[in-house]
């Protein structure tokens, strides 16, 4: 079996930002998508800074095919950053072959020599009329890029987790993030194919 086709037994994810962005909800959605949608095991730990709204905030999610014996993320396979301070705090922990996702509106990744994926999730949410949905856009993006959970499982978890009456709006935000991620991957594939053909 080719290396790209191997089943990854366990993945550790850290989502970071500041209080008020819905970081904890984003982590909960991922965990719920893994367990209910994809029938995997999952743990979820949240962490706040000294003050909730505006303070540093992170969600740690572990998704596994087998039992999870230690629920804390030490070295994430996936790091999604929605604030500059969160990026600076956690970038040193990301595995060398880990996947880095950034909200390009709020994070400027200076001083790193590694590949990353970025999405303007905050401005996309503003375009939809709700800045608060940037986290849902990021979850869509993360799902499309990493495939750590299924798109259907994640979308259903979003619909099941948001306030009543906002389900359609949030599903739309998730879809926008996922579509953006798929477009980024397609663009990279084309670029790589072009380089091979050159």
Measured over the CA atoms of residue 73, residue 68, residue 149 and residue 188, the dihedral's sign is: positive
Token pair of 48, please?
Answer: 């706040």
User: Would residue 131 count as lying in a domain?
Assistant: yes
User: Would residue 82 count as lying in a domain?
Assistant: yes
**Exposure b/e, 65-79, CB count within 10 A at least 16 = b:** eeeeeeeebeebbbb
User: Would residue 74 count as lying in a domain?
Assistant: yes
Domain count for the chain: 1
- What is the pLDDT of the chain when averaged over all its residues? 91
d(C-alpha 144, C-alpha 175), whole Å: 10
User: Would residue 124 count as lying in a domain?
Assistant: yes
Structure confidence at residue 11 (pLDDT): 97
Domain range for 94 is 8-197
Per-residue pLDDT tens digits for 19-32: 889 999 999 999 99
Per-residue pLDDT tens digits for 140-197: 999 999 999 999 999 999 999 999 999 999 999 999 999 999 999 999 999 888 876 6
User: Would residue 3 count as lying in a domain?
Assistant: no
Tell whether pTM > 0.85: yes
Mean pLDDT of 6-13: 82
User: Would residue 2 count as lying in a domain?
Assistant: no
Structure confidence at residue 3 (pLDDT): 41
User: Would residue 56 count as lying in a domain?
Assistant: yes
């Amino acid at each position: 079996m080719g290396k790209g086709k191997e089943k990854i037994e366990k993945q550790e994810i850290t989502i970071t930002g500041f209080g008020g962005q819905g970081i904890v909800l984003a982590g909960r959605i991922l965990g719920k998508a893994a367990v209910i949608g994809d029938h995997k095991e999952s743990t979820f730990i949240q962490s706040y800074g000294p003050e909730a709204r505006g303070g540093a905030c992170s969600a740690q999610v572990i998704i596994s095919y087998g039992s999870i014996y230690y629920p804390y993320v030490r070295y994430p396979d996936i790091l999604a950053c929605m604030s500059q301070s969160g990026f600076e705090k956690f970038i040193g922990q990301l595995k060398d072959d880990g996947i880095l996702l950034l909200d390009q509106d709020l994070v400027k990744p200076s001083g790193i020599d590694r590949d990353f994926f970025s999405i303007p999730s905050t401005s996309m949410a503003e375009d939809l009329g709700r800045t608060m949905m940037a986290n849902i856009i990021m979850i869509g993006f993360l799902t499309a890029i990493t495939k750590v959970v299924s798109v259907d499982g994640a979308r259903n978890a979003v619909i099941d987790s948001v306030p009543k009456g906002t389900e359609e709006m949030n599903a739309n935000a998730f879809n926008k993030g996922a579509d953006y991620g798929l477009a980024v991957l397609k663009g990279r594939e084309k670029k790589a194919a072009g380089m091979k053909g050159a």
